[in-house]
Amino acid sequence: MNHHLLLIIGLLLFCSSCSQEKSNEQRMLDDILQEGTYTIPEEAAENLDFSDFGELSELEQHLIDAGLVDIKSVLPEVYVDLKYSSEDNFFGQDVYGDLQNCYMQPEVAEMLAIAHKALKNAHPELTFLIYDAVRPLSVQQILWDNLDKPASVKPLYVADPKEGSLHNFGVAVDLTLAYQENSEALDMGTAYDYFGYPAYPDREQEMLKEGKITPKHIENRKILRAAMKAGGFSGIASEWWHFNAFSKKQAREKFEIIP
């Protein structure tokens, strides 16, 4: 066999190998596009370097160390918009920094999953949009110290850190309803953290008569309250968005304040 023939055979074999490799890569890409995930072979995973993915923030690691869970790990279909990780809150300051995930006690997350199931059964097009859950006592102190109100009225806006709040135990959640398809929040009549009677559940009929809120606002709030009640939560008189999983007495017996 002459050298030219050997060279041709070698090239054919090489191209065949390249074609097979390309085919394997194409199949991998097809799997990713169709399934949304790709399982990395164990022998390849051992050599991966995840350092470029970044480290958890100090606050997030603190919450994990305290035994709290990220609600998205339990309910991936809910939306999260932590208002205190932005300046879109009642006193215009970001106090959570890099924290974007929402944490709460595992038992509370399970209760919220039950509430979410009840919501989906009644209104499949809706989901929860969570604004806040656990609030470490250190952050509560920041809110208290930076609130530009007289000390006598501060407790109307923020719980006194000396007393603590159910947020500090990780057993309270602030949330609203949103459309599953686009995360657009339903109109509840007021913004989150609105301080005034239009936000008070126990003043809804009065505010309706005065034209401060509409029947649709009340209807939306009732949908939220019904779902949360199904999960074992209770609301409060002054904030349509706030729900407690336990009383303060129960929280003190079951959990520790998150410092």
Please, is 139 exposed, middle or buried when counting C-beta atoms within 10 Å of its C-beta (0-12, 13-18, 19+)? buried
Distance from chain centroid for Cα 26: 36
Alpha helix (H) residue ranges in the chain: 3-35, 42-45, 58-65, 71-74, 106-122, 137-146, 166-169, 204-209, 215-230, 248-254
Q: Both tokens of residue 16?
A: 């065949």
Nearest to 186 by CA among 177, 195, 197: 177
**239 given a catalytic annotation:** yes
Other Cβ atoms less than 10 A from the Cβ of 233: the count is 23
Distance from chain centroid for Cα 32: 26
Q: Which residues of 29-62 are buried (b: 16+ CB within 10 A; e: fewer)?
A: eeeeeeeeeeeeeeeeeeeeeeeeeeeeeebbeb
The one-letter amino acid code at 39 reads T
Task: Give the whole-angstrom CA distance, residue 71 versus residue 192.
Answer: 20
Please, is 221 exposed, middle or buried when counting C-beta atoms within 10 Å of its C-beta (0-12, 13-18, 19+)? buried
Q: Which of 42, 55, 77, 239 is catalytic?
A: 239
Q: Both tokens of residue 56?
A: 């958890």
SS3 state at 195: coil
- Annotated catalytic sites, by residue? 239
